[in-house]
Amino acid sequence: MSPRLRGTMSDVNDLEPYLETFDSGAGYLDWAAFGPLSPAVRAETSADAELLGSGRRSGIDLVTERVDEARGLVAQILACPTDEIVLQPSTTHGLAHAMQGLSGTVVVSAQEFPALRVTARRAQDSRCRLTVREIDPPEGIVTADAVAEALDDTVTAVAVSLVDYRTGALADIAALRELIGDRLLIVDAIQGFGVADIDWTAADVVCGNGYKWLRAGRGTGFARFSDRARERIEPVLSGISGMQGDVTSAGVPAPLSTAAAYQLAPIDPLAAGRLAAALREMTDAGIASIAAEVRSRAQDVMDLADRHAVPVLTPRERHAGIVTLLPATPDAAPLAAALANSGVTVTARGATIRVAPHAGTAADSLLLLDDALAEVAANRVIVDLAPGGLSLPDADGVTPARAIAAPVAVGLPGDDATAEG
């Protein structure tokens, strides 16, 4: 292993206070599924809960102010006015508001995470004002070239994940913006927000959540609706918190003119407080610096995979924190079992292993990963199943190129069907 991986990562730099906040156990490499809450988030939650438990109006009002604080921090990162930001319970809530209010045709990859493609289909089926045009780009990676083939005069929007949940590919939203012109660009940002240094102004709608890379826990969703988006997306799901007037207003008040129109009910101030605490940590450390560190940790994972001859599906030139390994086997069970036995937490899906380190992932976690990869490499038996070398899994998740037999010591946990990306 390289000296960098063997080191303690204790060199002093501007990121050091942020890196020191990572206190989850060694071997946690699943930040793309869930981010263990940071110490600051846990402390903020405790303090806000005490205020809400006091029964004093001043304490309740103080916690309620977390909503505007979180909105302001999201706006700062997205480089947009605060009135374009609305907090949501989840990424999917924001995407549902966008899709239900759209008209025309939206282009979505058939291999996108369900938060995008399912909400689009639900909108098509329920309101009959939106048509979903699915594309099937190579390896499921959405590129400007793949989208260009689907464009015509009926297309009003393109929806894409900033980071593909399967491959870890980072979408070029600047290129998509240039390609689609005046059409809306809707971005599911959950797998890249806070750990990818990009120009967010290319997107008209940005939906995300703080429970992964931000380490803020569930319920910390948010969405940005630009001026152009609000002109074209009807706030059909707007509720009591998205209307003009107040609870005493008669009839059915019109929606607000700001992004708050895309809101059903009051936001949980405890969730807003967790989001605000997490965003303060990230902005204090500098997202560009965090993004560089995340890419460095991802490169460490790729280097280890190369060392042990485990194919990497993730594009090496455009990625964020996700590294997807494609063991040359009918399934990933042998490697997944070795990782579990070594105390390494990852996501196993079919023929792939998704490894997701964070900026604070330390050498001890990478050493555990190295040990597990070495164990499988030492015990595998390679059997040729088909000519032509390694290929991607087919529709049943089977990789037909080669098989690697290795002892399987433990069962694998099932996927979390409630996860966002």
What is the DSSP secondary-structure string of 110-171? TTS-HHHHHHHHHHHHHHSSEEEEEE--GGG---HHHHHTT--TTEEEEEEESB-TTT-BBP
Looking at residue 241, which CATH number applies to its domain? 3.40.640.10
Question: CB 411: neighbour CB atoms within 10 A?
Answer: 10
Domain boundary (269, 285, 301) is at 285
92-130 pLDDT, tens per residue?
A: 999 999 999 999 999 999 999 999 999 999 999 999 999
Q: Of 267, 285, 303, which residue is a domain's last? A: 285
- What integer pLDDT is reported at residue 380 of this predicted model? 62
Does 174 map to a domain?
yes
Cα 98 → chain centroid: 18
**What CA–CA distances, in Å, run from 187 to 173, 361, 408?**
8, 27, 39
Tell me which amino acid residue 144 is: A
Q: Are 372 and 338 in contact (CB under 8 A)?
A: yes
In a domain, 416, yes or no: no
The first and second tokens of residue 233, run together, are 């997306």
Query: Are 249 and 341 within one domain?
Result: no
Phi, psi of 190 (to 5 degrees): -60, -35
Does 310 share its domain with 203?
Answer: no
Q: Which two tokens stand for residue 285?
A: 């450390």
| Token output for 355 | 């490894």
* Alpha-carbon gap, residue 421 to 419, rounded angstroms: 6
Q: What is the pLDDT of residue 329?
A: 65
In a domain, 414, yes or no: no
413 occurs within a structural domain: no
308 plus 367 within the same structural domain: yes
| pLDDT score of 391 | 39
Same domain, 272 and 318: no
* 411 part of a folded domain: no
Domain-embedded: residue 410 = no
Q: How many structural domains compose the chain?
A: 2
pLDDT of 409 reads 33
The domain that contains 360 carries what CATH number? 3.90.1150.10
* Residue that terminates a domain, selected from 221, 254, 285: 285
E strands, 200-240, are 205-209, 221-225
Structural domain that includes position 319: 3-36+287-405
Task: Tell me, yes or no, whether 210 and 141 share the same domain.
Answer: yes
- Per cent of the chain over pLDDT 90 is 80
Q: Where are the beta strands (DSSP E) in 226-311?
A: none
Q: Does residue 196 share a domain with residue 148?
A: yes
Scanning the structure block, which residue is given the tokens 């942020």?
A: 18
Q: Is residue 418 part of a domain?
A: no
Domain co-membership, 110 together with 231:
yes
pLDDT of the residue at 419:
56
Segments of the chain with pLDDT less than 70: 1-13, 329-330, 380-421
Are residues 26 and 55 located together in one domain of the fold?
no
Q: Indicate whether 184 and 263 sit together in one domain.
A: yes
Is 91 in the same domain as 233? Answer: yes
Tell me, yes or no, whether 261 and 133 share the same domain. Answer: yes
Strands 130-135 and 347-349: unpaired
Q: Is residue 350 part of a domain?
A: yes
Q: Is the same domain home to 278 and 292?
A: no
